[in-house]
Chains A and B, each alone.
Chain A
Amino acid sequence: MKNLRFIMMLLLFNSAFVFSGAQESTYKEVSWDDLMPEGWMPSEPPSDAAFFEGETLEGEAVSLPSTDMAPVVKSLDKQKLKMPGYILPIKFSDERLTEFLLVPYVGACVHTPPPPENQIVYVSLKKPMEMEDMWAPVWVSGVMNAKVSMTELATAGYHMTDAKSEPYEY
């Protein structure tokens, strides 16, 4: 009898641990580095001048940037991930934010050069959220889609769906 009781307690105890652990590990925390494939080095993008012209101002011909987008880490596809970053709003619904770009640093749109495509995540929120402070860092958790190329329904690159965002606490 006593043994049975002891085993029951042990089981209960363990299951409690397992459940709480499971809750926390539902979303796997990743860093921006994890979004770049092993061994891939980002290359310096061609100068902006060449983007539209195909030649620099001085008249030097430049090969237009190749259509290859920076590669994604395929194993991250369909994973539940959690990562930190900064918000660049894309879409609102009734003053609430529904879609945004998540980038590794503030002023991603100002710095030259901009981050490569595998350092940008396009996030679709499950529930629209109020935007309090635009420049505050956040944790974003959701289902990551890592597509190599674009389809009718999905953009290429990293797209996190069913996401939610919370303030980033130091």
Chain B
Amino acid sequence: MNIALLFRLTFKSILNRKFTSGLTLLSICLSVFLLLSVETVRKEAKHSFTNTISGTDLLVGARSGSVQLLLYSIFRIGNATNNIGWDSYQKIAAHKSVAWSIPISLGDSHKGFRVMGTTPGYFEHYRFADDKPLVFARGKPFKGVYDTVIGADVAEELGYRLGDELTLAHGVYDTDFARHDDKPFTSVGILERTGTPVDRTIHVSLQGIEALHVDWKTGVRSRETVGAEDAMDMNLEPAQITAFMLGLHSKMDIFRVQRAINNYKKEPMLAVLPGVALGELWQLIGVAEKALLIIAVFVLLNSFVGLLTVILTSLNERRREIAILRSLGCRPNQIFILLASESMLFAILGCVLGVALFFISIMLSQALMQQYGLHIPLSSFGSAQFIFLAAVLAASFLIGSIPGYRAYKNSLADGMSIKL
């Protein structure tokens, strides 16, 4: 009964100092929120990234860095520096060690979503997460030159259905003076959600990409434009692609094929094992991750120092109140609990508010996160976060012991008389 009484006294005491209490609480709430967010974003980013590609033995692009290749070809972050010749691709794809290959061509966009040219084999061979294949929610792969298959987010955010027309833009940013408006595309397929950048991609055939750029050979739209119909009759075999994925018959061949591609004299290319490139990506990010976490912890410590200051400052004013309690029979160790619990109460409230803020912000920022290929579900609250909260509470008790102890000692020394 007495503990409950002490907590009630603490609670009323805090309520009485609404302004300072409110600020201190806000500070703790924000620190907890920051700590939780940093950990979640870190975990989910890693999860999203590792889930994006599976089952591909080699990823090949023009010679650049392996992390860069991974980023632009799979995650659609950044751009390629160069393209690969179509004949180089064909030569390699024809080799007997290759089981399947998927060429991709990037460079265009539509209302913020990237356009990717590829073959129908993409829908057959591409895997993500635990070797999950792509599934069509509606429709089927493209067949015609101006057919397109769109990802789940594209359909949802832009409200597209089968049969809708899309005008693609030249370049990664969609502005109306660089649109291929003479050659609109029709959506013939919509993919089911994957939680990967596929959802935010507009897939067309390689021929489609070629048709688009038939009159852009000089880098600018030529005066004599070629109509959509006429373009279809032209030779639409691509001259270049951006990158391609390879699946081999035997994993044992991976190194030999990789070496051969890297040393291919006719064209400078880079072949990487996606798993290895991912590992390198994590190493790069790893340092930043740890730094962020350390900063978040320091922010929290800062809040605690603020809390400590507030409580210690109030201690002087409360000596009279403590003397009164002593006269009523309150024991010195109960005085200790009274003061120490103040810090814990702030921490508990701060955690509750911080967690609430955390969930609210996840809900509100879903769209923003998907732009970066992140997928953070509301259920993203794992053991790490619980451990953080427990640590916050433990720390608050330690912090609270300081004013608690001082009050304890004061109460013994002061007796019941404080001359004010």
Contact = CB atoms under 8 A, between A and B. Distances in A.
Are chains A and B native binding partners rather than an unrelated pairing?
A: yes
A91 B252 contact: no
A44 interface: no
A88 interface: yes
Interface string B64-104: 00000000000000000000000000011001100000000
A91 B95 CA distance: 24
B50 A112 contact: no
Given A49-B263, A95-B50, A115-B255, A89 B249 contact: no
Interface in A114-170: 114-115, 117, 120, 122, 131, 134, 150, 155-157
Interface in A56-111: 57, 67, 69, 88-95, 100-101, 108-109
A37 interface: no
Given A89-B275, A89-B278, A134-B279, A95 B46 contact: yes
A45 B250 contact: no
Nearest to B254: A101
A109 B279 contact: no
Give the interface centre of B47, B255, B276, B280 by most chain A CB atoms within 10 Å: B255
Contacts, number: 94
Contacts of A45: 256
Given A109-B258, A114-B256, A92 B251 contact: no
Contact of A88 (B91, B252, B275): B275
Contacts of A17: none
B54 interface: yes
A92 B130 CA distance: 8
Given A150-B249, A156-B250, A108 B255 contact: yes
B325 interface: no
Nearest to B256: A114
Contact of B250 (A51, A115, A131, A155): A155
The 8 closest A-B CB pairs, nearest first, are A89-B275, A114-B255, A51-B260, A48-B263, A134-B279, A117-B252, A157-B252, A92-B50
